Amino acid sequence: MILQHIADGILSGAIVSLGAIGLSFTMKMLRFANFSHSELLTWGAYGGLVFAAFFLSFGGFMDGIIGPFSFGPALMLAMLCACGATSLIALFLHRFVFERLSRKAGHMTMVFASFGVALVLRHLVVLIWGSDPIYYSNALQFAILLPGGVRVMPDQVFLLGLTAVVVIALHLFMTHSRTGVAMRGVAENPDLAGVCGVNVDRIVTWVWVIGASGAALAGVLYGMTVQLRPELGFSLILPLFAAAILGGAGSLYGAVLGGMIVGLSENLSVIVIPTTYKPAVPFLLILAILYFRPDGIFRERSR
Amino acid sequence: MSGIHALEAVDVVAGYAPDLPILHGVSAHVDASEVVSIIGPNGAGKSTLVKAIAGLVRVTSGAVRLNGRDITDVGAHKLAGAGVGFVPQTGNVFATLTIHENLIMGGAPLAKSAALERIEEIYEMYPVLKNKMRDKAGILSGGQRQILAVARALLARPRLMLLDEPTAGLSPKAAGELFDVVRGLAEDGAAVLLVEQNAKAALRMSDRGYVLAEGRNRLDGLAAELLANEEIGEIFLGLRRGAARPEGTA
């Protein structure tokens, strides 16, 4: 029973991790808590639905299913397109809302603006797709039995594998590419990065694209393993913030570990507390980390 | 000197808030192969002037020109590409990045292959950096940080180098070595603008100097003349003639 909870915790933690990476980056590099970030998960998930339908309309190869999974090439391609489309939404918000506000208004104004943007994004989803839950596929899946009596769906194994690939790719990008190093430099000291010759505006664009792509992937994976609904992102807002704060703003590894801790804590908590209290666990984690280690587990000294 | 200067600041009004200027019409120029010091008491606006030139502080009035080209509203990253190097007084290294990554940051204006070649040259100039290339810059001593900051600024071969109190916190030996590097830069043809608290030491290694006080030009001239000028003692800390001068002032 405990092993099953651990497996479920790791799987839900993987989704939180992917979503929290972008939130953590924007918190550190753009210096505000973006409450509309969770809605990018929703838009990524619904974007995946639209693009999957588009690719499925070609029929033939696109109509097929890959191995034991519930999806085929259409959803795989749709996932990539959803990343691109969600990035465009994020860049639109940056250009026409957050960048404009950052010139004249304080951080608190930007936080409140992000609340407003979140409401608009969420209700646009209801307006376009309705409020009923939607599934990418109605195909039946058979659980894989792992040692210890742990059961996981093939789609969940894909989710975990894809998360690992994305995290490793991001690690290599952040440590081995000039743009990745520049992103870390801008996060620490944007003025110094500027006088070094780094185009800070270009780096900020990268932050939005990476953050929105991670959110879109998390949204599609959530839709794939659970369901699509307009409150998808809203229901993850606390876990995302808990993971980002737990790991320390701007830390890739912190966001991933934070996501895993949140996922595991939520799923293991049901052993000792009623399931209805499960959503309160990320909130308690935020309180605990702010009290004991406000800069997060992976804080780095910048002085 | 007339004609086009490597750097020219004309009647610069600048500050951190639009209605609260720190500089009230400061002018200065630097020519190629020249080291020019900006000295003055605390709050004179020395650091604000170099930050305004480097594009970090908004210039509300006046002009900054690089080889005759107006760069008043040009962003900091474009200035680096145009050959301006800047070593800030504080926060002059990326503490969370490794030394090698700090140098990669300095190579941003160059193509990747050219930057990597230049980093190898920098490692030959400063073996201490090569020995610690995988260490985080945050663990370096004050002197090593200054070396890294200067090395990073040198990476893109600047034609104008701005240094904001580069010897702060350094031992006399380390400060002397750093001044040698600065002089070497000028001998290679670069224009150097140096802000220093240690006025005497700065003027000794400079060709010319400007004395600022309360955001305004007070004196300028050849470094040797300024060193002999007793008025500087009065400007520093507002001392009256005949009163004891603070250490480090002329």
pLDDT digit string (tens) for A60-102?
888 888 888 989 999 999 999 999 999 999 999 999 999 999 8
Does residue A300 have a pLDDT over 90? no
Q: Which of A209-218, A279-288, A294-303, B162-171 has the highest mean pLDDT?
A: A209-218
* Confidence (pLDDT) at B242: 43
Closest residue of chain B to A189, computed from CA coordinates: B94
**Chain A, window 166-225: residues with a beta carbon less than 8 angstroms from a chain B beta carbon:** 178, 181-182, 184-185, 188-189, 191-200
This prediction's pTM = 0.88
The model's confidence at residue B246, banded by pLDDT at 50, 70 and 90, is very low
B10 vs B63: CA distance, rounded Å: 5
The model's confidence at residue B235, banded by pLDDT at 50, 70 and 90, is confident
A277-282 mean pLDDT: 88
Contact B95 A302 (CB under 8 A): yes
Model confidence pLDDT, tens digit, residues A151-183: 999 999 999 999 999 999 999 999 999 999 999
The H-or-E segment that residue A12 falls in is helix A2-29
* Confidence (pLDDT) at B238: 60
State the pairing for strand pair B160-164/B84-87.
parallel
The model's confidence at residue B245, banded by pLDDT at 50, 70 and 90, is very low
* Confidence (pLDDT) at B244: 43
Model confidence pLDDT, tens digit, residues B177-197: 888 888 999 999 999 999 988
Does residue B249 have a pLDDT over 70? no
User: Closest partner residue to A192 among B81, B92, B104, by Cβ?
Assistant: B92
User: Closest partner residue to B91 among A192, A196, A199, by Cβ?
Assistant: A192
* Confidence (pLDDT) at B247: 44
Q: What percent of chain B has pLDDT over 90?
A: 70
Q: Which residues pair with B191 in a beta bridge?
A: B160
The H-or-E segment that residue B194 falls in is strand B191-195
ipTM score for this prediction: 0.88
**Chain B, window 140-169: residues with a beta carbon less than 8 angstroms from a chain A beta carbon:** 152, 156
The model's confidence at residue A296, banded by pLDDT at 50, 70 and 90, is confident
* Confidence (pLDDT) at B241: 45
| Chain A residues touching residue B94 (CB < 8 angstroms) | 184-185, 188-189, 192-193
* Confidence (pLDDT) at A262: 94
* Confidence (pLDDT) at B2: 54
* Confidence (pLDDT) at B9: 96
Contact A194 B77 (CB under 8 A): yes
Model confidence pLDDT, tens digit, residues A4-35: 999 999 999 999 999 999 999 989 888 889 99
A47 vs A51: CA distance, rounded Å: 6
Identify the residue among A196, A200, A204 best suited for mutation to test binding to B, counting B beta carbons within 10 A and taking the highest.
A196
- Chain A and chain B share a number of CB contacts under 8 A equal to 83
Contact A191 B109 (CB under 8 A): no
* Confidence (pLDDT) at A137: 85
B172 contact partners, CB below 8 Å, separation of at least 6: none
Does residue A115 have a pLDDT over 50? yes
User: Closest partner residue to A189 among B55, B94, B104, by Cβ?
Assistant: B94
Model confidence pLDDT, tens digit, residues B135-181: 999 999 888 899 999 999 999 999 999 999 988 878 888 888 888 88
A245 vs A264: CA distance, rounded Å: 16
* Confidence (pLDDT) at A162: 96
Does residue B240 have a pLDDT over 70? no
Give the DSSP letter of residue A143. P
Nearest to A255 by CA among A207, A223, A299: A299
Contact A185 B101 (CB under 8 A): yes
B239 vs B250: CA distance, rounded Å: 12
Least confident of A87-91, A136-140, B77-81, B96-100: A136-140
Nearest to A16 by CA among A278, A266, A184: A266
Interchain CB contact of B139 with A (< 8 Å): no
The Cα of A128 is separated from the nearest Cα of chain B by a number of Å equal to: 42
Contact A185 B112 (CB under 8 A): no
Interchain CB contact of A301 with B (< 8 Å): yes
Which pair of tokens denotes residue B28?
Answer: 């200065």
Contact B156 A197 (CB under 8 A): yes
User: Closest partner residue to B96 among A182, A191, A302, by Cβ?
Assistant: A302
* Confidence (pLDDT) at B164: 95
| Chain B residues touching residue A203 (CB < 8 angstroms) | none
Q: What percent of chain A has pLDDT over 90?
A: 72
Contact A178 B79 (CB under 8 A): no
* Confidence (pLDDT) at A302: 52
| Chain A residues touching residue B105 (CB < 8 angstroms) | 181-182, 185, 192-193, 196, 198
User: Closest partner residue to B104 among A181, A192, A200, by Cβ?
Assistant: A181
Model confidence pLDDT, tens digit, residues A231-268: 999 999 999 999 999 988 888 999 999 999 999 999 99
| Chain B residues touching residue A199 (CB < 8 angstroms) | 77
A245 vs A248: CA distance, rounded Å: 5
Interchain CB contact of B106 with A (< 8 Å): yes
Interchain CB contact of B112 with A (< 8 Å): yes
Averaged pLDDT of chain A? 92
